[in-house]
């Protein structure tokens, strides 16, 4: 069993993933993916973190926001910008992890990377209530309200651009997921229960 979780910033996606992993006896992968890749490929962890679903100044973000196409910008693996090489390495590691472990994987286009794997359940969690997300970040990340709002806008924009650039799909679109859940309406605990029930029935 592999559960991928895409998430809006502040919607509770990481916490939900951690709880699901614990309650379903699955391994949990978020930053652990970067740490493992850093060790296996001898890549500076800070370099990986700077390209991880973010970094507004990176090459992929510039292309995603421009009219240039991916195919026009790179011709071969040796021509790939560093950020794109890292994405390929992360993708290969995610495929490897999905073969090795029953697990929960957070973000990183994992729903698309594993789209041909029949044992994968793809979930996207979001919140239609902005205040819900802000309150979670104020309470659990110790952010003041203004910083929480700025980070929420920044992170979601960067994740959407990253996802579109590497998949040519819209981040959070229903075609990419088995379940899309509004955590502000259902609550975190009910969201966890629904995903668990779905997983049990599918598997």
Residue 195, pLDDT above cutoff 80: yes
Q: Given this model, what pLDDT does residue 68 score? A: 40
Q: For residues 58 and 64, what is the distance between their CA atoms, to the nearest angstrom?
A: 10
Residue 29's SS3 state is strand
**pLDDT digits over 48-94, tens only?**
888 888 644 455 445 544 444 444 443 444 556 778 888 999 999 99
Binning pLDDT at 50, 70 and 90, where does residue 175 land?
very high
Residue reference for tokens 């990183």: 108
Q: Given this model, what pLDDT does residue 63 score? A: 52
Q: Given this model, what pLDDT does residue 9 score? A: 97
Least trusted range by pLDDT, from 3-17, 49-63, 95-109, 178-192? 49-63
Q: Given this model, what pLDDT does residue 75 score? A: 42
Residue reference for tokens 């955590």: 183
**pLDDT digits over 26-39, tens only?**
999 999 999 999 99
Strands in 103-106's sheet, in edge-to-edge order, are 27-29, 103-106, 2-7, 120-126, 179-182
pTM reported for the whole predicted model: 0.86
Closest CA to 74 of 61, 60, 89, 94: 60
Structure tokens at 121: 């359940």
Q: What angle do CA 136, 140, 173 make, to 5 degrees?
A: 45
Residue 11 DSSP code:
S
**pLDDT digits over 120-167, tens only?**
999 999 999 999 999 999 999 999 999 999 999 999 999 999 999 999
CATH architecture of 2-202: 3-Layer(aba) Sandwich (3.40)
Closest CA to 147 of 2, 9, 4: 9
Q: Given this model, what pLDDT does residue 80 score? A: 64
């Amino acid at each position: 069993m592999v559960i991928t979780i895409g998430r809006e910033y502040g919607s509770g996606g990481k916490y939900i993933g951690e709880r699901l992993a614990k309650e379903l006896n699955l391994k949990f992968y978020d930053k652990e993916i970067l740490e493992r890749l850093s060790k296996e490929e001898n890549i500076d962890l800070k370099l990986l973190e700077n390209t991880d679903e973010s970094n507004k100044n990176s090459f992929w973000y510039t292309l995603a926001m421009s009219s240039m196409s991916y195919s026009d910008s790179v011709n071969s693996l040796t021509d790939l910008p560093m950020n794109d090489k890292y994405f390929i390495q992360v993708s290969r590691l995610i495929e490897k992890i999905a073969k090795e472990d029953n697990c929960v994987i957070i973000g990183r286009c994992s729903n698309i990377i594993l789209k041909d794997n029949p044992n994968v359940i793809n979930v996207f969690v979001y919140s239609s209530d902005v205040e819900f997300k802000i309150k979670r970040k104020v309470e659990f990340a110790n952010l003041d309200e203004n910083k929480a709002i700025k980070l929420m806008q920044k992170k979601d924009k960067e994740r959407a651009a990253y996802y579109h650039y590497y998949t040519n799909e819209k981040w959070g679109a229903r075609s990419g997921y088995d379940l899309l859940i509004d955590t502000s309406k259902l609550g975190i605990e009910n969201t966890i229960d629904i995903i668990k029930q779905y997983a049990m029935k599918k598997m």
